[in-house]
Amino acid sequence: MEDVEKPIPADDEVLIKLHAATVFTGDCEMRGFKFPISFWLPLRLFIGILRPKRPILGQEFSGVVEAIGKDVTRFAVGDAVFAASGGWGAYAQYICLSEDKPMVHKPENITHEAAATVPTGGLNALHFVRKADLKPGQKILINGAGSSIGTMAVQLAKAAGAEVWAVDCAIKLDMLRAISADHVIDYTREDFTKNDVTFDAILDVVGKSHFSRCLRALTPDGRYLLANPRIIPMLRGVWTNKTSTQKVMFALAGEKLEDVQHLADLLADGTLKPVIDRHFALEDMVAAHRYVETGQKIGNVVITF
Ligand SMILES: NC(=O)c1ccc[n+]([C@@H]2O[C@H](COP(=O)([O-])OP(=O)(O)OC[C@H]3O[C@@H](n4cnc5c(N)ncnc54)[C@H](OP(=O)(O)O)[C@@H]3O)[C@@H](O)[C@H]2O)c1
């Protein structure tokens, strides 16, 4: 923990006092630089060669606007907002963000803790569930469904009328049933590619599915969505897209304002219910990271200020 200068908003920025943020698995990977070797060089250039260019982690938050720059029109002092921070900066009591960023008003019936869990997992889930192009009754399998992205994807796929198969470890299966997954599979006991079910889409959140076996488990026009892609599956995906009627997709989600607003609307009307496992105070960030790194997190871990 360090004291840093309280940020001052530029003309197009708002200063937000944070109420809640999350520890996302991606934060731990960034902190520990735990990435496949093939991504080391581009990520070093992005994050910083010798040390992080932006030392405060934190990708999503909810809070209250404390001050605004003179050109700001979308927000006023006292507004409750939630946002994707653009990858950094949410592990702090204050953050400044341009009003053009993916930041929206928090629905009144949703707590700051719940709202903070939505931007990163929700934007990625929305992106991939849209790519899955599900028709009512079609089957989607979500691998790593107990994750931040997965819990949102299960609910978005259900809202699209799909039959949802959710794969994760045993301790997460009751939660997955509670958020309306139709079928749950414990990946430590069963390989979903060997159960003779054919899926219209497979969304792999954790990057641990077997490429060829997944293609065999898909319909002839099935969609294989890689939310956590590695180089070899990406290359194989490019080849599959050229030579087959099946589609492999791995482009990461953008952070669009209208998509965060769509997620806010789904939160407000109860379509999306964030799954929160544990809360940690900001001072206990180390314990929060350690907990997330155990892999035991069910849905989301929230930091409160
Ligand atoms: N903006 C971003 O940072 C961003 C964007 C897109 C994707 N991603 C990446 O997407 C990944 C997922 O993120 P997340 O936070 O949503 O995930 P998460 O919360 O870490 O959850 C991953 C889940 O997958 C389960 N799992 C592990 N091995 C499995 C297997 N072989 N089969 C099925 N399930 C398995 C884990 O359960 P166990 O308890 O058994 O481990 C856990 O429940 C991260 O690597 C992240 O970097 C990040």
* pLDDT tens digits for range 44-73: 998 888 888 888 999 999 999 999 999 999
Residue 125 belongs to domain with CATH number: 3.40.50.720
- Residues 192 and 143 sit within 8 Å (Cβ to Cβ): yes
Angle, CA 26 vertex, CA 38 and CA 103 arms, to 5°: 125
Distance 8 CA to ligand 1 centre (A): 35
For the CA of 227, the closest atom of ligand 1 is 7
Q: What is the extent of the structural domain holding 180? A: 121-249
Q: Are residues 281 and 201 in the same domain?
A: no
For the CA of 27, the closest atom of ligand 1 is 3
- What integer best gives the mean pLDDT of the chain? 96
Q: Is 26 in the pocket of ligand 1 (CB under 6 A)?
A: yes
* pTM greater than 0.85: yes
Tokens at 240, concatenated: 């599959």
Q: Is 27 in the pocket of ligand 1 (CB under 6 A)?
A: no
Q: Ligand 1, atom 40: nearest CA belongs to which residue? A: 169
Q: Are residues 133 and 105 in the same domain?
A: no
Distance 2 CA to ligand 1 centre (A): 29
Least confident window among 4-18, 31-45, 176-190: 31-45
263 within a domain of the structure (yes/no): no
Non-local CB neighbours of 131 within 8 Å, separated by 6+ positions: 223, 225, 249
If one counts the domains in the chain, the total is 2
Which phi and psi angles does 56 have, rounded to 5°? Answer: -95, 115
